Amino acid sequence: MTSRSQYRQLADTLRAAIVRGDYPPGSQLTSEPELAEQYGVSRPTVNRALAILSNEGLVRPERGRGTFIHELPVMARAAVQRYARPEREADGQARGAFDGEVRRLGFEPRSELIEVGPVVAPGDVAEALHLGAEDVALIRKRHMYASDVPVQLATSYVPWTIAGGTRLTEADTGPGGTYSRLAELGHPVARFTERVTVRTPSPEEEDFLRLTEEQKVFSIFHLAFDQDGRPVEVTVHTLPTHQWVLDYAWPIDPS
Amino acid sequence: MTSRSQYRQLADTLRAAIVRGDYPPGSQLTSEPELAEQYGVSRPTVNRALAILSNEGLVRPERGRGTFIHELPVMARAAVQRYARPEREADGQARGAFDGEVRRLGFEPRSELIEVGPVVAPGDVAEALHLGAEDVALIRKRHMYASDVPVQLATSYVPWTIAGGTRLTEADTGPGGTYSRLAELGHPVARFTERVTVRTPSPEEEDFLRLTEEQKVFSIFHLAFDQDGRPVEVTVHTLPTHQWVLDYAWPIDPS
DNA sequence: TCTTATTTGTTCGTATGTATT
DNA sequence: GAATACATACGAACAAATAAG
């Protein structure tokens, strides 16, 4: 192919160099003007090549500073195991599942509770939880980090008729987390569904996850049903696609 | 807010117009030179704006012809139900699951068997199926369409020690498809795992799915285990992220 | 605090290439 | 072959963010 564009060729070259390890993770890439001269192309062409690598999550350009090699490897989210009881109760905290996922890779997990309290849930959440236009839900919004790098955003909703006045409205939900409290409240969770989509991040997600508008995120709409088949909890997870893989497992004919 | 770039603003404007329905699905968008004049920007800026919408899967630029509004809505892949027996045996064909997914939206499903026969499986497949470097697997590679629009690529592998000399090596695997044959061969499937990743398409996938290099695809690594816990089948699905959502469902503590 | 140099982000005008009609 | 349409590239310039003095 004579006609692979220059910016793609340059992107390929630089990608190979990064993967090969010529630039260690976290280090600074050669500046755009220098690359332009080295490879005999114009600066906009270099910029376009770097935009590709940026969208792939391989580098992080920062205006005024330079372009840096992204450091975090890919993490795996095990959708099924993470909701099993042993995993949740591992260290007496609700964040057991995320902790394991991150620690397994040698990083230090951290969660911040950003918001907790009664709210009117967004349309799709309200619909899933069978909430009317007036009904209120408990929101629990968390920011999650791996070694201080933001990696995930999770927002949970529980109908206020269930959660109101319980420990679910407190910062620390106690051993086993939300699902253990729901069980104590007469709503033991029996079944989950998840819907996975890929989309561009919202401005808020861009900001927290340090993404550009061209990068993509997984949006996971997680719904829990109790033994009576009543939907009792929704969590919306947002994860950069270049940072995560999703694992699922199930028996045939689960019925 | 003074500084949202022109190409992003234009992309926002055009996206809104398309979503609003100003341009019907399949219709041709105003040409780049005309848009440049209408909005008082240069042609490269228009081109950059359209690149965004192209990556989002909203439009399809075709060199020499024009830019067209993409027509297919989003399809849902129900990972759990699609492997349940009733779904598979619905019309006596192995492609029952995909058929249902597509027909449900009012489109006409079609599958083409591209390749079938013994091959040396790729590394990750061989590892999952516990195949040695010399071992051979049956490959079944399909192209899938919805109303003649390519929407999915699926490649299955079964160890040749299981599949060799059976109906699995024929074009038509018979009622109930691969899993029914595996059951008859003494390998009834008991459990599935799937690993979902998002990546840029390979050149072959670009070509078949009509994608650009910047667009993204789901890559689903699907693995089936028989009752003895032996891995008996791998299917790698490739789906454009803008065309599909993935649904999962499972009971708590599936043991 | 102010200034200046450096670095990335964006835009234009212009030109050329390639594919389609 | 000619006209049209999208794809790519260059050089120049300015904007915005950062760092260093």
Taking only the tens place, the pLDDT of each residue in A151-193 is 999 999 999 999 989 999 999 888 888 998 999 999 999 999 9
Q: Print burial letters for B70-104: b (CB count within 10 Å at least 16), e (below 16).
A: bebeebebbbbbebeeebbbeeebbbbbbbbbbee
Provide mean pLDDT across the span A202-211.
91
Distance A3 CA to C17 C1' (A): 10
Identify whether the C-beta of residue B72 lies closer than 8 Å to the C-beta of residue B149. Answer: yes
Low-confidence ranges of chain B (pLDDT < 70): 1-3, 85-96, 254-255
CB proximity A249 to B under 8 Å: yes
Identify whether the C-beta of residue A26 lies closer than 8 Å to the C-beta of residue A69. Answer: yes
CB proximity B214 to A under 8 Å: yes
How does pLDDT run across B15-24, given as a tens digit for each residue? 999 999 999 9
Beta strands in chain A (DSSP E): 59-62, 66-69, 75-78, 109-119, 137-146, 149-159, 189-199, 217-226, 231-240, 244-251
Comparing A239 with B99, which gets the higher pLDDT? A239
Rounded CA gap, A126 and A211, in Å? 28
Q: Do A247 and B190 touch (CB under 8 A)?
A: no
> Strand B75-78 to strand B244-251: parallel, antiparallel, or no bridges (unpaired)?
parallel
Which of B236, B156, B145 lies closest to B197 in space, CA to CA? B236
CB A3 under 7 Å to nucleic chain C = yes
Identify the pLDDT of residue B82: 81
Identify the pLDDT of residue A147: 87
Residue from the list B192, B214, B245 with its beta carbon closest to the beta carbon of A196: B245
Query: Which single residue has its CA nearest the C1' atom of nucleotide D15?
Result: B3
Contacts of B216 in chain A (CB under 8 A): 198, 216, 241
Rounded CA gap, B165 and A134, in Å? 64
Distance A40 CA to D10 C1' (A): 11
CB proximity A9 to B under 8 Å: no
Identify whether the C-beta of residue A116 lies closer than 8 Å to the C-beta of residue A140. Answer: yes
CB A37 under 7 Å to nucleic chain C = no
Task: List Cα–Cα distances, B18 to A82, B69, B244, in angstroms.
Answer: 40, 8, 19
Contacts of A118 (CB under 8 A, 6+ apart): A136, A137, A138, A139, A160, A164
Percent of chain A exceeding pLDDT 70 equals 94
Rounded CA gap, A154 and A98, in Å? 11
pLDDT reading at A71 higher than 90: no
Report the gap between the CA of B202 and the closest CA in chain A (Å): 13
Contacts of B103 (CB under 8 A, 6+ apart): B109
Q: Do B214 and A55 touch (CB under 8 A)?
A: yes
pTM for this predicted structure: 0.93
CB proximity A7 to B under 8 Å: no
CB B33 under 7 Å to nucleic chain C = no
Q: Do B250 and A191 touch (CB under 8 A)?
A: yes
Contacts of A248 in chain B (CB under 8 A): 79, 192-196, 248, 250
Residue from the list B56, B213, B250 with its beta carbon closest to the beta carbon of A250: B250
Which of B238, B235, B202 lies closest to B121 in space, CA to CA? B235
How does pLDDT run across A87-125, given as a tens digit for each residue? 666 554 445 678 888 888 888 899 999 999 999 999 999
Contacts of B242 in chain A (CB under 8 A): 198
Helix axes B43-55, B6-20, angle to 10 degrees: 50
> Residue B122 corresponds to which tokens in the numbers above?
């790729």
Identify the pLDDT of residue A96: 64
Rounded CA gap, A97 and A111, in Å? 12
In chain D, which nucleotides are within 7 Å of a protein Cβ?
3-13, 15-19
CB proximity B1 to A under 8 Å: no
Identify the pLDDT of residue B7: 93
Which of B211, B246, B194, B233 lies closest to B54 in space, CA to CA? B211
Identify the pLDDT of residue B105: 85
